[in-house]
Amino acid sequence: MHRSSHTNGEAFEPGQPYSTGRITPNITHDAVVIVPGILGSELYDTDAGRPLWGLKGGRWLVRAWARERGLEGLHLTPREQEGQYGRVKPMGLLKVPVWAPLLKGIEPYSQLVSTVRAHVPSDSAVLCFPYDWRLSVAVNGSLLAAAARKHLQQWRSQKAYQNARKQATDGREGRLVFVAHSMGGLVTHAALTMGYDNDLAADTRGVLTLGTPFKGAVMAASMLNGLSGTPIPLPRAKLKALAHTMPGVHDLLPRFPCVEDGTDVRPLTPQDVEALGGNRQFAQDSLDFFRRQGDFSLPAHRAVVGVDQDTVQSLTLESGLVTASEYCFRYHSDGELMRDENGIPHRWNVTGDGTVHEESATFTQSFTPLGLQHGSLAKAKPAMTAVKRFLLSGPHLGPEQAGENLGLTVPDCVEPGQIWEISISGSDNPADVDCVVESIEDSEGAFERSVSLRSVGGEQLVGHPSVPREGLFRVTVEAAGNPILTQLVLAASAANANDDR
């Protein structure tokens, strides 16, 4: 009987509609490093023998944020500010959702880790790099460089790597691939640029960033100013004091012209930072650090960028108070600010992911825009598809994802039993959009409610839900042809705001 050969060496019968031959697994033999964002690592106090962050659920978050001394352990001590960092130990990547004023919710990294592990030959090819996000990008970049080098060396010595390398084009040697969310992209950039390991960039095949504020975020200035923006009287002085001690927060401050000063626009200065409630020396140290980095580009960099979400992009500073605005400014090629015929600066709303505006996250012209919130960029299905394709196909992700997306705006914090508002942009037809509010923890019984939406014109829908108890809740918005949008909301009683029992 005549037999035809198949490209993988198997044979099949003439007329057979498909081959039953063995398929080579589509995996990467590179060493992958996952770097989370701010708030994205579990922290443990080794002196006190207790968790500091991310190791407990929503009920703990209510107590931590609603009580005046709930997060005292996160403050950098004088010894830590002098460089003695042994007290706090990073324990792992987030496994439960967390929440903070202004930054709102950060989803756990379980889906990202699962996606990466599904496309490598062995779990030992993946390094999850938790870090103490209170500390500076410079400190954590040095630690990441050392950890990445060790990970690559260990992975190359393993049998699983040797077997997988045989399937690679030209049997090329495995290199590093970084997948970094939010602040993690800044830490990765530092690890590859600051000379902690001069060969690390050459040993890196590519870097994928998810919502990284390469030029900083105006939201960080509001954090240092202690403005919670919620109806619940969470202690503003507490948030301000906490951020004041953290070099990591100062590393997120905007480094682009964003301060409206009359009819001019200028960058934020260390003096401004001190006036709004931050640490002037931390701000200066951060500015000097990023200046030393210069314009070094990341190897085969692909940025995944959240778009179409309301995002603050500029600010005014008056008598120490920050007022943030959802528009930014642009410049001509000669560096002149773009103005109208009356000399008034033009204002653009370029949106973003709710925390980082688009033009700060697009460090490269090679980027993928997704209509997602900042906290879910390391979890949502479209972002995971981008991660998969980056792992398997190098820097070539195909055409950028375009088109209009839905936007979601919710309060930071709400009171149980009180009505609050959900705002959805990008649609004027309630029948096309499904909105659900559900509890994160079900110890008191699962809560899930569909939210009735109505059009208020101008491609805008609103809904007015309530939740029955304190805790962490997730808002989910779905519409055909759009990424699923999620945002976390903390429900806390105003009566308990200063209860430290």
- CATH number of the domain to which 488 belongs: 2.60.40.10
Q: Which of 319, 336, 354 is the last residue of a domain?
A: 354
Q: Two tokens at 322?
A: 């920050």
Name the 3-class secondary structure at 81. Answer: helix
Contact 183, 248 (CB under 8 A): yes
Return d(Cα 373, Cα 380) in angstroms, integer: 9
Give, rounded to a whole angstrom, the gap between the first and last alpha carbons of the chain: 85
In a domain, 331, yes or no: yes
User: Do 327 and 447 belong to one domain?
Assistant: no
- The contacts of residue 443 (CB under 8 Å, 6+ apart) are 59
Whether the CB-CB separation of 394 and 301 falls below 8 Å is answered with: no
DSSP 296: P
Are both 58 and 187 inside the same structural domain? yes
Q: Is 223 part of a structural domain of the chain? A: yes
Q: pTM of the prediction?
A: 0.89
Same domain for 54 and 193: yes
**Does 287 share its domain with 225?**
yes
Residue 62: inside a domain = yes
227 and 152 within one domain: no
Q: Which of 38, 481, 466, 13 is nearest to 243 (CA)?
A: 38
Q: Give the three-state DSSP class for 324.
A: strand
CATH number for the domain that contains residue 61:
3.40.50
Q: Based on the fold, state whether residues 89 and 177 are members of the same structural domain.
A: yes
Co-location of 348 and 414 in the same domain? no
Domain boundary among 210, 230, 254: 210
Q: What total number of domains does the chain contain?
A: 3
Low-confidence ranges of the chain (pLDDT < 50): 1-13, 228-229, 235, 394-402, 499-501
The reply to whether 179 and 232 lie within a common domain is no
Tell me if 256 is assigned to some domain: yes
- Angle at the Cα of 13 (from 11 to 18), degrees rounded to 5? 80
CA 74 from chain centre, in angstroms, equals 20
On whether the CB atoms of residues 444 and 469 are closer than 8 A, the answer is yes
Residue 3, helix vs strand vs coil? coil
Q: What is the pLDDT of residue 4?
A: 38
Instruction: Give the E-state strand segments of 46-103 in sequence order.
Output: 50-53, 88-93, 98-100
- The reply to whether 233 and 202 lie within a common domain is no
Q: What confidence score (pLDDT) does residue 247 get?
A: 96
d(CA 410, CA 112): 25
pLDDT, residue 231, reads 52
Token pair in block for residue 9: 């060496």
Q: Is residue 386 part of a domain?
A: no
Q: Is residue 111 part of a domain?
A: yes
Check whether residue 188 and residue 121 sit in a common domain. Answer: yes
- What pLDDT, on the 0 to 100 scale, is given for residue 228? 47
Separation of alpha carbons 33 and 180, rounded Å:
8
Q: Decide if 155 is inside a domain.
A: yes
CA dihedral 178, 181, 183, 185 (to 10 degrees): 30
User: Are 422 and 454 part of one and the same domain?
Assistant: yes
pLDDT of residue 454: 96
Contact 280, 273 (CB under 8 A): yes
Q: Tell me which of 210, 231, 248 is where a domain ends.
A: 210
Is 9 a member of any domain? no
pLDDT tens profile 3-42 = 433 334 344 445 556 555 677 788 999 999 999 999 999 9
CB proximity list for 433: less than 8 A, separation 6 or greater: 406, 424, 427, 453, 461, 477, 478, 479
Q: Could you tell me the residue range of the domain that residue 425 belongs to?
A: 407-495
Q: Are 197 and 146 in contact (CB under 8 A)?
A: yes
Other residues' Cβ atoms within 10 Å of the Cβ of residue 114: 10
Do 441 and 342 share a domain, yes or no?
no
